[in-house]
Amino acid sequence: MPDKKTASYVQSICMGEIEEEIIVPFPEMAEGEKETLGQVLASVRQLLGGREKEFREWDTKAEMPGAFIEELRQFGLFGLVIPEAHGGIGFGSTAYSRVLQEIAKFDGSVALTVGAHSSIGMRGLLLFGTDAQKARWMPKLTTGELIAAFCLTEPGAGSDAAAVRTTARRDGNDWILNGEKIWITNGGMADFFTVFAKTPDVQTGGKAALTAFVVTRDMPGVSTGPHEDKMGIRASSTTTVRMDEVRVPGDHVLGGVGQGFKAAMKILNSGRTGLGGGAVGGMKRLISLSAKQAVERQQFGRPISEFGMIKEKVGVMVVDAYASESVVSMVAGLIDQGYEDYAVEAAISKVFATEALWRTSDEALQIAGGNGYMREFPYEKAMRDSRINRIFEGTNEILRLFIALSAMNDVGQQLKELASVVKSGVADPIKGFGVLSGYARKRASLATGLVGERRSFTLLVPEVKKAATVVEEGTRDVALAADRILRKHGGKVVGKQFATHRLADILIDLFVLSTVLSRVNSAVENKGAEGAAQELAILEIFAGRARRRMRSNLNRIDDNDDELVKLVADHAFEKEGYSWDTI
């Protein structure tokens, strides 16, 4: 069985190995939690159903009424992940993600308000808080008396968390914080802030280390700016948060002094299933709207649902939603099962689900035609609301870089070991021969496509064999590609973003396909091939399209126009614009 402390399905793929026990069978929620979840979902529907007109009004006014926030409190939606010992519901990642999915079916701003509180705002306290800290703040966070916000982003520090300029200097047992955070969700209504600041007297690699602090609104020097006028999710609160000589007691440090960067990454990784769940909920709603529109809308004497191009749009929307739901549920299941190294998988779920939602919102608006562009219909708001998901909680560009570099880490370590063995082989020829011959055998096995240990699936039903073969072949190909990229670029690979982007996209397709494969396999086991016919069709569609995308990306690792694209871009940067005209 895999070691839950170190096992990573995607990193294993990059090494040419399929650790199927990690993903098969598809994760199932415990019956007791499922029953509680059903009750919470019913409450969500009761609270949010029939309020579309209000949601549209709040979007126009760019505000969420205080009376509605009080309703969220009364329905217990701020205590979803807080342990029962502190008054919360104590949901795991799977159940929590499913609740955010349900909320997002009704309104993105409401989903974001609840999600920012639990996914990231108070997540640091949940993950790193001491017993005393949890006892002090969690009961009020559960009831919503305290609403939480996550304060990392600054004017010069978006994706580059190391560029944070907010500082914390020691003053006896206290810390004095100074700085400003921007684009803070829940900023205008929060009373509990998880703030990241540089602590100059604690160094990491010669630089001031980040530390996470709990800051509360009642501390002198804490202030928030006006509500930001946003493109989408307009009713959610987004403000600046400023700290001027804010005195923070020493017992407000979360996770240890100097451990803030690790804490921030762990919080974001842990909370990504909430964002993914919201994306899935948005897709399900848009599919329902599109299907109804296509059946009811008549053109040329028949419903537009009968036209091939409309069928293609809706069919692909369904496949995207099923795949997104599969990967988000798989990552949540891994977390609930106690796996600790899921950062790459969580990043993949965020990238795939948010981009699938964007495609779905675009196609849903297109199916609605002119009505889709009108504000009285829900499509344009759904599109505006969905656009932010590819930006916040890690831009998809940065996450692609993270996916590729993290997944290649073990390959790099193996090549480093190989290099050191070559250098020391004369001194220790027996050890050197062992490492070299082992690596040579692995390379030969991958290159020839021979089936070896952990090169193929053994736990799947025959009905999914064709899709399983796509994963097996893709695993072999991506391992060889990762090896080739690292050999070619070595330590400079961080700057080779065209190559890492392609590798990341291959890994995204492989992992998402693996989760769909596992889910459909379980469906066939539970319902039989006939009962799972639609899901088998979805699997075949996704596998075929993923295979073509992977093949294209693999081919372009060596045969591409990257240097020409960079040349054209540099010309635009130099001229600060487009240089040509037809007159």
Domain of residue 531 covers 429-570
Crossing angle for the helix pair 260-296 and 93-104, to the nearest 10 degrees: 40
- 293 falls within a domain: no
In the prediction, which pLDDT does 258 show? 95
How many domains does one find in the chain? 2
- 410 falls within a domain: no
- 110 falls within a domain: no
Which pair of structure tokens corresponds to residue 558? 């060596």
- 155 falls within a domain: yes
Mean pLDDT of 369-382: 97
In the prediction, which pLDDT does 494 show? 87
The CATH number of the domain where 254 resides is what?
A: 2.40.110.10
Q: Residue 448's pLDDT band (boundaries 50, 70, 90)?
A: low
- 18 falls within a domain: no
SS3 353: helix
In the prediction, which pLDDT does 443 show? 53
- 136 falls within a domain: no
Give the model confidence (pLDDT) of 81-92 as tens digits. 999 999 999 999
Give the model confidence (pLDDT) of 11-46 as tens digits. 999 999 999 999 999 999 989 899 999 999 999 999
β-pair type (192-204, 148-151): parallel
Mean pLDDT of 321-336: 98
Residue 15 near residue 508, CB atoms below 8 Å: no
The CATH number of the domain where 464 resides is what?
A: 1.20.140.10
Query: 394 pLDDT exceeds 50?
Result: yes
Among candidate residues 262, 295, 328, the one where a domain is terminated: 262
In the prediction, which pLDDT does 447 show? 57
DSSP 250-295: GGGEES-TT-HHHHHHHHHHHHHHHHHHHHHHHHHHHHHHHHHHHH
pTM above 0.85, yes or no: yes
Query: 451 pLDDT exceeds 70?
Result: no
- 216 falls within a domain: yes
Active site residues: 393
Give the model confidence (pLDDT) of 525-537 as tens digits. 999 999 999 999 9
- 58 falls within a domain: no
Task: State the alpha helices, DSSP H only, in 129-259.
Answer: 131-143
Give the model confidence (pLDDT) of 76-135 as tens digits. 999 999 999 999 999 999 999 999 999 999 999 999 999 999 999 999 999 999 999 999
For residues 19 and 405, what is the distance between their CA atoms, to the nearest angstrom?
20
Among candidate residues 206, 230, 262, the one where a domain is terminated: 262
In the prediction, which pLDDT does 446 show? 56
Among candidate residues 213, 242, 262, the one where a domain is terminated: 262
In the prediction, which pLDDT does 204 show? 80
